[in-house]
Amino acid sequence: MTTPPLLNLDAYEAAAHVRLSPGALDYYGSGANDELTLRENRAAFGRLRLRPRMLRGVAQRDLGTVLLGRRHALPVLVAPVAQQRLAHPDGELATARAAAALGVTMTLSTIASRSIEEVAATGAGPRWFQLYVYRDRAVTQALVARAEAAGYEALVLTVDAPLLGRRERAIAGAERPEMVAANLQHDSMRAVMAGSAGATPDLAAYFAAQLDQGLTWDDVGWLRSVTRLPVLVKGVLRGDDAALAIEAGAAGVVVSNHGGRQLDTALATIDALPEIAEAVAGRGAVLLDGGVRRGTDVVKALALGAQAVLVGRPVLWGLAVAGEAGVRDVLELLRAELDLAFALCGVRNVEEVTRDLVV
């Protein structure tokens, strides 16, 4: 009896639940507190309806988009997700190879389980680096310098985690998986991990002890002063904050609630998007993560003002199911769904995905 194909990202999630250890599943899947925002990220997409156009000559379609001066094959990027070796031994290396094969940009987490240099060595795919700002600014500068030297093209500054959200499902779980922060094994980083032998068994304590909780908008300017890379601010849910990010010199913002893992009952990202896109007003890039599971979700985000979306958990599900091949299939499923949605909505490229497509 042959195994039926996995037809969509939800099917990959179900299959991954069978393969992942309980600790890994709790770590990846949990949200903050009652997980209301975790669920709302997806539910909010379901409340939006598309208004397709007819007879628009869609025989030729182009799914590409331009972000930060580079053309991307898809308006879909891989979000920064930590500790991918909990899903597969190759971890972030497999994800990087799969993304590169499709021309999709991968964003590497600061607390990845594979290092900046290891991921860069996988090939020529475009890569961004997600950054936390440490109390010891020398640690942050060393990470930035390594990302620049390894060919990463942008920094994604995460600002919604001065402390770690209370993820009760993961806390209550019977198993706590061992996590290794590969980027903090570099000689200049060892003090950050002092006393833990490179492992991060308690991420909440790690965040509280190491990350700078006193960040302000002035620190966006500081970061820009120590790098030649464009900086995007990730974790924005308000139009006024988006405007402040651009005024501070950010190249763009990522509309994000950290996958529902930080402040529970925060806005779903697709609900926050229109106000933020209006506030940015073309002065920088606007991206979105949280709850994207279908090609139609990508269309809705584009219509409401995003230039691209990032996907996180679906990549993990693909990685858990089939390593590099699973990640590639997840991204190919999204690409195929997006192409079909373009055709059925009567649009030929991202420029034709306009606000009037969505109610």
Per-residue CA distances from 330 to 14, 147, 279, 336 (Å):
13, 27, 33, 10
Sorted by sequence, the CB contacts under 8 Å of residue 147 that are 6+ apart come out as: 116, 129, 131, 155, 229
Are 113 and 182 in contact by the 8 Å Cβ rule? The answer is yes
Measured CA to CA, the distance from residue 33 to residue 262 in angstroms comes to: 9
* Alpha carbon distance 93, 114 (integer Å): 7
Distance CA 311, CA 75 (A): 11
Terminal C-alpha separation, the chain: 44
- Distance in angstroms (rounded) separating the CA atoms of residues 169 and 299: 32
State the Cα–Cα distance between residues 33 and 122, nearest whole angstrom. Answer: 37
Mind telling me the catalytic residues? 258
* C-alpha to C-alpha distances, 288 to 18, 176, 309, 327, nearest whole angstrom: 29, 30, 5, 20
Q: Token pair 């034709």 is at which residue?
A: 352
3-state secondary structure of 43: helix
Burial class (CB in 10 A: 0-12, 13-18, 19+), 195: exposed
- CB burial string 197-225: b at 16+ within 10 A, e below: eeebeebeebbeebbeeebeeebbeebbe
